[in-house]
Structure 1
Amino acid sequence: MKKYLLSIFTVLVPILTFAQGKGIDEKINDAFMPIATAWEGFILTTIPIGSYNIPLVVLLLVLGATFFTFYFKFPSITKFGLAINTVRGKYDEIEGGHSSGDPNMSIDGDIPDTIRDESKEGEVSHFQALATAVSGTVGLGNIAGVAVAIALGGPGATFWMIVCGLIGMSTKFVECTLGVKYRDVGEDGTVYGGPMYYLSKGLKERGFAGIGKILAALFAILCVGASFGGGNAFQSNQATVQITSMLGIEGGSMGFIIGIILAVLVGIVIIGGIKRIASITEKIVPFMAGIYVLASLIIIFANINYIGDAFGLIFEGAFTPMAGLGGLVGVLIVGFQRAAFSNEAGAGSAAIAHSAVKTKYPASEGVVALLEPFIDTVVICTMTALVIIFFNIDGTNMQSVFNYGGDGFSNVVLNSDGSSIGGVDLTSMAFDSVIPGFSYILTIAIVLFAFSTMISWSYYGLQSWKYLFGKGKTADTVYKVLFLVFIVIGAAATLDAVIKFSDAMILALVFPNMIGLFFLFPKVREEISKYVNAIKEAK
């Protein structure tokens, strides 16, 4: 550990030295912005449908999630109870290995006494895997991202975020089942899983070995980039914004100092790998989510008289958006894009965390995973949206504080004094308007959100890095140091630059991942049948 920490400081100290003086945030932003803008433009390539230009990645997400929802008969509804019971450990007894019976009787083609006890493989429990994956999705996308969506697309974007979350549950179920089915387990019990493995191994089974290798390598490269962007730089950026706002100071060099502190704290945790990450996230996630949900409920009940108006704006804006918001499809795209960034269904990233679960039934973790988009988007994002909409309602005036249709970053104009806010600041002000001083508590929650998301995404990126460069200690150290450097970069750059890069990197994962899912989804049907039958036989 001492050698590792020394390598961290060897890289971070020169950065801190370089950061001294004013204008360092502008320097990094000037270097970062052109890359972010170009990459976002490439990933969000549109195709014309009628009079609209729809981003191909959004279309792929929507069509794929809708297909899986119908193919698996609405698992978000029919498998919801099963998911809750699995997380609770109700079916843990069937994970303990097959009972010895007639040695000539086969189970799934294997003789019972010769079956490897796969329940011993894996590193974390169902709950720990869910907590780790949720910590990677429930983060600042739910706080700053929702503010961006509503500021840009109006209240109607909330409706499409919810729809995306509901159908995204099906996609998450598919990708996380495959993640466990095709994982690798090392001799020391370390698990290596995720889209890299089901793309290469699964497509090889289907006779497309070459395509599988290409898609797996592409996913791994993009996942490393996404871990530096949305899973890292965006989180440190918004945590820094909230801290400096609370302290009443400007960013600049202070952003670097905060970034350095965050980098050191994250570095201490990620040295320990998935087991330490899981042990931290299973404590942090319930705590931070509990604080945030409780505060949201307080505000919702305090504004209960406006609940009808709020939902009226959501539904009206979803189908008849206000002038200047880009029309119905424009609002739909904003909602789906922000929801995809928040819950990552279709991106395949969460399958990496879920692959580490202790189970011999891949579908058991698939059903657990479908809870993620529900928790992340349907519950927490909706609560955030209601808080912001209430903040902007004053009697009959439905836009009393800011005008819907800004750019979501800095052009949300306050009517009272002409100042501008955006991202996490908007959400913070909304909470403070009902619970004075809550911005201080929200700052703690935001830092915890950012911290847990960063440590989870460090694991995603590291697994992808290992796939590309091998599983040695040197490769591990190189990745972890680079990851920590991006924490500092994110803390200094502007939200506009960071979110462009973050969006593009996470959304880029959709292309190789969804192609693989379309080839491999029949395997998921086989696995869910095995799991359900095992539960029935155990009763």
Structure 2
Amino acid sequence: MASIDSFTASVESAVNGFFDPVSTFMTDLIFAEVTVFGVSFPWIVAWLVVAGAVFSLVFGFVQIHKIKLAADLVRGKHDEGGAGEVNHFQALTSAVSGTVGLGNIAGVAVAVTIGGPGATFWMILCGLLGMATKFVECTLGVKYRDEHEDGTVSGGPMHYLHKGLAERGLGGLGKVLAVLASVCLLFFGLFGGNMFQSNQSYAQLKSVTGGDNGLLGSSAGALGFGLLIAAFAAMVLIGGMRSIGRVTSRLVPAMAGMYIVACLVVILVNITQLPAAFASIVEGAFAPQGVAGGVIGVLIIGFQRAAFSNEAGLGSAPIAHSAVKTRHPVTEGLVSMLEPFIDTVVICTMTALTIVIASTPSWDKAREAAAAGGSPEGVTLTSDAFATVMPWFPYVLTFAVLLFAFSTIITWGYYGLKAWTYLFGRSRASETTFKVVYCLFTVLGAMLTLGALLNLADAVLFALAVVNIVGLYLLAPVVKKELASFLAHLRHKEAAQKGALQEAPEPEAV
């Protein structure tokens, strides 16, 4: 075992040493901070939030006016079939599985600790704005997807940037942006969506089984865990999007439901404190109780957490949504609006309420640490909040983390595959090569902590947002036409149904 430990340590040192300069450059560039009213924040957050605000205005706050229609589409209403591989519900759960994860459990706790309960208010607002961005990018994902002879489809930013911008006379720009989008997706898929998930889920499982001295504390334990996760991932990925859709349509509702029920248990046990918790969230949004530097500081903390959580504008979700069976691209754009709602408005808010209501001693210590400039441990705070009511829940939370991580791994495996085939061609050999490489990275993720590469992966993912949102602005008129066309179709269909009812003969009296 010592030889394995020595080998992994040498590999980590070599890889981190090679990528550290690139990682530092990209991180400093993408997450460079600007200062507004004395508060500093990453400019990329503003880029994402402004896009959500612009698209909300351009489309008349479609996320509010058409939310019922979106829910009807998920339930199968107005379903007219069409090319594709999965239904609306499966496409939604597949995309949600790529966003719901450790960020909802740990990241929210950090945001509430640093920004106070008021950060929750701004998380909700940012989640609502992100719904409009998702609507635009996922409509385009279906509009410009490629439909293959075997019934499968390929969609995502690389396709709508390439074909959509070509339609507008910007073919050269579209090709460049499409290649950049594919490279970003592939890089993050291998490292952030795969290795990081494997690494963190192994670390969480090891911590509840005795740490370094426990069952999984050895290198053999890490290798075994990585091989097991890779094997499960391979079985799902071999089946393609249909297989992923079947798994996530069961896994996502189950794990999200379990997590929400646990939050509700903590809230109900402390129900008398609920009004005060809501009051602290609203008051804290405008009269901050955190250490983030006034109202603007709390706003930025909330926006940052929400933007990083729901991935609206990053271009990843349109790949999953593009696989839907539909004749009208905008239907999936409407369905995709529910994704930031579930991820940020529901799950992140439930996490924040649980932490605020439980008000554990560890939260008090975390706030003191944040005030002193330290970094609080997010997942510990969330776990301690549940433990106030259910002492055994940290073990269930570990199981939830494993499910969240696994669902993210398989979804990003699909995203990475589509980026890979766009760059290197779509053939059985090409796809098999990617799947083997991807599963190998899953195993390595459990054994290696490649800090420089993981930091670089985060920077690359948000670089994708720059590329993607430029395309969304240029292609927004296409989405407006698609929305108007579908709404006219629904009005015509409703009128025809009413006419048929009116022309139906009266039943004869018995």
TM class, shorter-length: 0.7 to 0.9
Residues 301 and 441 of structure 1: is their aligned pair in 2 closer, same or farther, counting only changes over 3 Å?
same
Residues 325 and 145 of structure 1: is their aligned pair in 2 closer, same or farther, counting only changes over 3 Å?
same
Q: 1:137 aligns with which of 99, 107, 121?
A: 99
Are 1:78 and 2:78 counterparts? no
User: What is the alpha-carbon distance in structure 1 between the residues aligned to residue 349 and residue 51 of structure 2?
Assistant: 23
Contact kept in structure 1, 2:121 and 2:285, CA below 8 Å: yes
User: Is 258-267 or 125-134 further displaced after alignment?
Assistant: 258-267
Q: 1:530 aligns with which of 485, 488, 501?
A: 485
Q: 1:400 aligns with which of 364, 375, 390?
A: 364
User: What is the alpha-carbon distance in structure 1 between the residues aligned to residue 489 and residue 373 of structure 2?
Assistant: 50
Q: 1:432 aligns with which of 377, 384, 387?
A: 387
Q: Hey, what does 2:4 align to over in structure 1?
A: 20
User: Is 45-54 or 157-166 further displaced after alignment?
Assistant: 45-54
Q: Hey, what does 2:418 align to over in structure 1?
A: 463
User: What is the alpha-carbon distance in structure 1 between the residues aligned to residue 227 and residue 13 of structure 2?
Assistant: 17
Counterpart residue type for residue 12 of structure 2: I
> Equivalent pairs: percent with the same residue?
49
List aligned pairs for 1:199-278, cutoff 5 A.
199-250=161-212, 253=219, 254-278=221-245
User: What is the alpha-carbon distance in structure 1 between the residues aligned to residue 117 and residue 444 of structure 2?
Assistant: 32
* Deviation per residue, 1:43-72 (Å, 9 max, x gap): 112345554444232121111110111111
Q: Hey, what does 2:110 align to over in structure 1?
A: 148
Q: 1:87 aligns with which of 58, 74, 94?
A: 74
Counterpart residue type for residue 490 of structure 2: I
Residues 399 and 343 of structure 1: is their aligned pair in 2 closer, same or farther, counting only changes over 3 Å?
closer
* Deviation per residue, 1:235-293 (Å, 9 max, x gap): 22331232112212235634444223212221221111111111111111111111111
User: What is the alpha-carbon distance in structure 2 between the residues aligned to residue 267 and residue 408 of structure 1?
Assistant: 45
Residues 188 and 381 of structure 1: is their aligned pair in 2 closer, same or farther, counting only changes over 3 Å?
same
Contact kept in structure 2, 1:161 and 1:377, CA below 8 Å: yes
User: What is the alpha-carbon distance in structure 1 between the residues aligned to residue 371 and residue 183 of structure 2?
Assistant: 30
Counterpart residue type for residue 340 of structure 2: P
User: Is 309-318 or 369-378 further displaced after alignment?
Assistant: 309-318
User: What is the alpha-carbon distance in structure 1 between the residues aligned to residue 327 and residue 372 of structure 2?
Assistant: 45
User: What is the alpha-carbon distance in structure 2 between the residues aligned to residue 240 and residue 485 of structure 1?
Assistant: 15
User: Is 126-135 or 319-328 further displaced after alignment?
Assistant: 319-328
User: What is the alpha-carbon distance in structure 2 between the residues aligned to residue 523 and residue 231 of structure 1?
Assistant: 31
User: What is the alpha-carbon distance in structure 1 between the residues aligned to residue 325 and residue 469 of structure 2?
Assistant: 26
User: What is the alpha-carbon distance in structure 1 between the residues aligned to residue 379 and residue 267 of structure 2?
Assistant: 19
User: What is the alpha-carbon distance in structure 1 between the residues aligned to residue 148 and residue 122 of structure 2?
Assistant: 42
Unaligned runs of 5+ in 2: 495-510
Contact kept in structure 2, 1:153 and 1:405, CA below 8 Å: no
Q: TM-score, normalised by structure 2?
A: 0.88
Q: Hey, what does 1:105 align to over in structure 2?
A: none
Residues 303 and 496 of structure 1: is their aligned pair in 2 closer, same or farther, counting only changes over 3 Å?
farther
User: What is the alpha-carbon distance in structure 2 between the residues aligned to residue 325 and residue 19 of structure 1?
Assistant: 46
Higher helix proportion: 2
User: What is the alpha-carbon distance in structure 2 between the residues aligned to residue 363 and residue 211 of structure 1?
Assistant: 25
Q: Hey, what does 1:43 align to over in structure 2?
A: 30
Q: Hey, what does 1:11 align to over in structure 2?
A: none
Contact kept in structure 2, 1:230 and 1:505, CA below 8 Å: no
Residues 222 and 524 of structure 1: is their aligned pair in 2 closer, same or farther, counting only changes over 3 Å?
same
Structure 1 residue 181, shift from structure 2 partner: 0.5
Structure 1 residue 303, shift from structure 2 partner: 1.8
Q: TM-score, normalised by structure 1?
A: 0.83
Contact kept in structure 2, 1:153 and 1:404, CA below 8 Å: no
Structure 1 residue 139, shift from structure 2 partner: 1.8
Q: Hey, what does 1:162 align to over in structure 2?
A: 124
Residues 26 and 382 of structure 1: is their aligned pair in 2 closer, same or farther, counting only changes over 3 Å?
farther
Q: Hey, what does 1:192 align to over in structure 2?
A: 154
Unaligned runs of 5+ in 1: 1-16, 97-118, 413-421
User: What is the alpha-carbon distance in structure 1 between the residues aligned to residue 351 and residue 300 of structure 2?
Assistant: 19
Q: CA RMSD in A?
A: 2.7
User: Is 308-317 or 273-282 further displaced after alignment?
Assistant: 308-317
Q: Hey, what does 1:416 align to over in structure 2?
A: none
Contact kept in structure 2, 1:147 and 1:408, CA below 8 Å: no
How many residue pairs get aligned? The number is 486
Q: Hey, what does 2:301 align to over in structure 1?
A: 334
Contact kept in structure 1, 2:321 and 2:336, CA below 8 Å: yes
Counterpart residue type for residue 194 of structure 1: G
* SS of residue matched to 1:282: helix
Contact kept in structure 2, 1:29 and 1:494, CA below 8 Å: no
* SS of residue matched to 1:243: helix
Contact kept in structure 1, 2:12 and 2:449, CA below 8 Å: no
Contact kept in structure 1, 2:360 and 2:388, CA below 8 Å: no
Contact kept in structure 2, 1:408 and 1:423, CA below 8 Å: no
Are 1:304 and 2:291 counterparts? no
Contact kept in structure 2, 1:26 and 1:493, CA below 8 Å: no
Q: Hey, what does 1:354 align to over in structure 2?
A: 321
User: What is the alpha-carbon distance in structure 1 between the residues aligned to residue 235 and residue 422 of structure 2?
Assistant: 23
Counterpart residue type for residue 4 of structure 2: Q
* Deviation per residue, 1:292-342 (Å, 9 max, x gap): 111111111112222233334433443343464344444333322322222
Contact kept in structure 1, 2:145 and 2:155, CA below 8 Å: yes
User: Is 46-55 or 70-79 further displaced after alignment?
Assistant: 46-55
Residues 317 and 389 of structure 1: is their aligned pair in 2 closer, same or farther, counting only changes over 3 Å?
same
Structure 1 residue 124, shift from structure 2 partner: 0.9
User: What is the alpha-carbon distance in structure 2 between the residues aligned to residue 392 and residue 224 of structure 1?
Assistant: 41
* SS of residue matched to 1:400: helix
Q: Hey, what does 1:102 align to over in structure 2?
A: none
Q: Hey, what does 1:59 align to over in structure 2?
A: 46
Structure 1 residue 526, shift from structure 2 partner: 0.9
Q: 1:282 aligns with which of 242, 249, 270?
A: 249
